[in-house]
Chains A and B, each alone.
Chain A
Amino acid sequence: MKRPIVLLSVLVIAGILLASCAQATATPTEAPVVAAEPTLAVQPTAVPQADRVQIYWYIGLGTGSQAAQIPPEKAFVEKFNASQDKIQLITIIVDNKFARDNLIAQVAAGNAPDIVGPMGTEGRGWFQGSWLNLQPLVDQFNYDTSDIDPAFLEFYKDQGELVGLPFAIFPSAMYYNTALFDEAGLAYPPHTVGEKYTLDGQEVEWNFDTVAEVAKRLTVDASGNDATSASFDKDNIVQYGFDFQWVKDSPRWFTAYFEPFYPVNDAGEAVLSDGQVAGIKWYYDAMWGAQPFLPTQAAQDTDYMGHANNFNSGHTAMSLTHLWYTCCITPASDATVTVASWDVGVVPTYNGTTTSKMHGDTFGIMEATLHPEEAFAVYTYMIGEGSADLYTIYGGLPARQSQQAAFFASLDEKFAPNKVDWQVFLDMIPFLEVPGHELVLPNVAKAHDAFLQLGSDLRSNPDLDIDARLAQFLKDETAIYKEVAP
């Protein structure tokens, strides 16, 4: 009797120790992954000072909550507060994954922050009607908007009210790891729109089919076989060829690279375009097909893949995403760098058309603010005098052309000695999507949620009947739209 109990005890202790060490054992022996651990939620980061007006700045609805971004954000706040004797700026930083719910709860509880951002059109749309109209403050303080393109000002209007002033734009491009391309002996993605890609000595169009083919050759298993090899072990992938870096939670996001389309018809029903359906199927096949080249949910939820910061993990060769992703690539000067050499190419075509999905981010002041004038003072600092610091943190291309060269110079300095062809992002601007993928949907919170649910199923379920799932999605989404139909 005694021996089995001792044996059982040893097994239990071993189990506990293994459990404690689980994170370590789950990580292959690669260089440490840097930076992109998101923070779950950070409460106000300073004690309010009695002699100042507190302005609370809520970060996380768009970019801004990655671990690497938080220290420079705090430095920005300290710099602002040091220049002030009336206002105290305090940050509330919440992981992007939970920020929407968290902010809704704060607004509902009567604790709305003063300033929110940076955020895109979609983020603003979730809180439609909750933003302060900035026009009276612009008039009151004679804030100079003369050097801002009137079209940009129009872009930030909601039902005729100016709910934001232009801050930054984020065109898309194809990030690629040059070392992994060199290792595979493949040509780099093209840097100009219309340029052909050279594959096996032949010039081919740089479209999503080509991307898939190249990505398969860049996807490698533990034995070194690529995805096109007969010996390829798809359950043991150590390097992926492609990813939609942080733009795949909702299929509405990544399908914008295939075909921009507003998924509501005139009858108020949910619809998907042929291009969107093709994009969804392309994406699903990239994860679950016979020759997968894109990380699934389980694959990316690991230390090895940087907990979804796949490109920066050094184990993903190409990632299609926005300019803001420069936030989260570790500079070559950092000892923990995992992607020492990288560059950007143009977005691939679909049916012969290039579409560069764009984010146009800015900040908003909440209508519930108790201190609109002080909030506007902070706001104008953020998009004016202090904007250079924020552009670096958020990787945002300044909406004002006069600031763009300085912005790219700061990125060059950050990533030196690696050289990046920033011109690609500028060249992508004429290929912006119309209509935008962030146009507000009817019953937006529920409608967006249904898209996220679809995206989750795609990433998690290898046995999905795509056509049946899409039919169910359209049925559910239509019912959601109809809930708020007049």
Chain B
Amino acid sequence: MAPHGTSSTGLQATLRRKPLSALARREVLSGLAFLSPWIFGFLVFTLLPMAASLVFSVTNYNPIHPEELEFVGLANYARMFTDPFMRQAWGVTLRFVLISVPLSIAFPLALAVLVNSERLFAKNLYRTLFYLPTMIPIVVNVIIWGGIMNSTTGWLNQAIEFLFGVQGPRWYQDPVWVIPALTIMGFWGVGNTMVIMLAGLQNVPTELYDASKVDGASASQRFLQVTLPMISPVIFYNLMLAVIGSFQYFVQAYIIGNGRGDPNGATMFYNLYLYRIAFNFLDMGYGATLAWAMFVVVLILTIILWKSQRRWVYYAGGE
């Protein structure tokens, strides 16, 4: 966006140094005009609510009784460390992250490898089929899977009984099985990740495979030594999104757990707990505190991931 000859120190510095030509000014104004909806939206719908929630976090704000507003200092932050339900919510969320994140990378990668295979018949059909569920709204997805995983009439349990002669789990009613059930349900939405992985796979230069074949590398060696390093930036990108998305998991848990973490708190994800505190119990101050705690945790994880990429992500053109 910057005019010709400007450095990365920014537009303002350039403007101070020398007057812009009429054309450059017009371009800057046009650019700002086109950006203004985003800037306005960011300021009003993101930055302002964030700032407001930071203020709420040091108050006892109840939106139905704003007249009772009081400054409570860091009391809400201290409360987090003695709140047993928050610990439970973190436990549920971390368990889900640990189970779902690796699978949400491995599964779409496997699918991408499959639909990238030269030997696969009707590749485009599979690509379309795997991507299709992504188009289905989450709520519909959850309802459909509710039928599939119904412990008495769902075809999944009927198939388990038919194949193995044992009764399948009570997917949505058993605290042990509900997280795996949500993870399996998530497989339906991997089409987007699969497409990105596929693009990464198709960008791997074929010369590398040819050279490795000449060197006698097996198929698995080619995958581990050539494919994975070459698509590691794509994996890194998807990993980042998967981690952030898993920590923000909400809608599916809200619907399956009736908005209260059924069965027995097993779907009380952190965001659901936050929502309940803020909007069910109208403890908006503490709810805002929980939101900021989540922000800090995800920020730290993101920084760690970002730093770690130097060890395992390969950028062909350097940084």
Contacts and interface: CB of A to CB of B under 8 A. Distances in A.
B188 interface: yes
B173 A460 contact: yes
B148 A19 contact: yes
B120 interface: yes
Contact of A457 (B117, B122, B150, B263): B263
Contacts of A28: 153
Interface string B149-173: 0111111000000000001001011
A18 B148 CA distance: 9
Contacts of B64: 107-108, 127, 129-130
A278 to B, nearest CB: 23
Nearest to B171: A298
A457 B264 contact: yes
Given A1-B119, A456-B258, A460-B263, A298 B151 contact: yes
Contact of B262 (A8, A101, A302, A456): A456
Nearest to B119: A2
Contacts of A297: 173
Contacts of A461: 173-174, 263-264
Contacts of A146: none
Nearest to A97: B258
Interface stretch (A173-181, A328-336, A385-393, A444-452): A444-452
B25 to A, nearest CB: 42
Interface residues of A, number: 49
Given A97-B258, A107-B63, A461-B264, A9 B148 contact: no
A310 to B, nearest CB: 13
B281 interface: yes
B146 interface: yes
A113 B174 CA distance: 38
B150 A301 contact: yes
A1 B114 CA distance: 12
A460 to B, nearest CB: 4
Contacts of B119: 1-2, 5
Interface string A284-307: 000000000000111101111000
Contact of A453 (B170, B260, B280): B260
B284 interface: yes
Given A16-B129, A22-B148, A5 B120 contact: yes
B154 A40 contact: no
Contacts of A302: 147, 150, 152-153
A235 interface: yes
Nearest to B136: A20
A381 interface: no
Contacts of A50: none
A105 B284 CA distance: 11
B44 interface: no
A109 B132 CA distance: 36
A23 interface: yes
B152 A299 contact: yes
B108 to A, nearest CB: 13
Interface in A1-49: 1-2, 5-6, 8-9, 12-13, 16, 18-19, 22-23, 25-28, 40
A460 B153 contact: no
A101 B279 contact: yes
A298 B173 contact: yes
Contact of B188 (A19, A107, A459): A19
Q: Which of A98, A101, A107 has the most CB of B within 10 A?
A: A101
B155 A25 contact: yes
Given A301-B146, A445-B281, A460-B173, A453 B153 contact: no
Contacts of B139: 40
A452 B167 CA distance: 28
A471 to B, nearest CB: 15
Contacts of B146: 301
A2 to B, nearest CB: 5
A6 B281 contact: no
A456 B260 contact: yes
Contacts of B152: 235, 296, 298-299, 302
A19 B64 CA distance: 44
B144 interface: yes
Interface of B: 63-65, 114, 117, 119-122, 126, 129, 132-133, 139, 144-148, 150-155, 167, 170, 172-174, 188, 258-265, 276, 279-282, 284
Given A22-B144, A104-B280, A130-B64, 9 more contacts: A9-B120, A23-B147, A28-B153, A105-B279, A109-B63, A303-B147, A459-B173, A460-B170, A460-B173
18 contacts: A2-B119, A5-B119, A9-B122, A12-B126, A16-B132, A16-B133, A22-B145, A22-B155, A26-B147, A26-B150, A104-B280, A108-B279, A108-B282, A298-B152, A301-B172, A453-B264, A457-B263, A460-B262
**A-B complex: 10 closest residue pairs judged by Cβ atoms:** A108-B63, A460-B173, A22-B148, A298-B151, A456-B262, A26-B153, A22-B147, A460-B263, A23-B147, A302-B153
Interface of A: 1-2, 5-6, 8-9, 12-13, 16, 18-19, 22-23, 25-28, 40, 97-98, 100-101, 104-105, 107-109, 127, 129-130, 235, 296-299, 301-304, 445-446, 449, 452-453, 456-457, 459-461
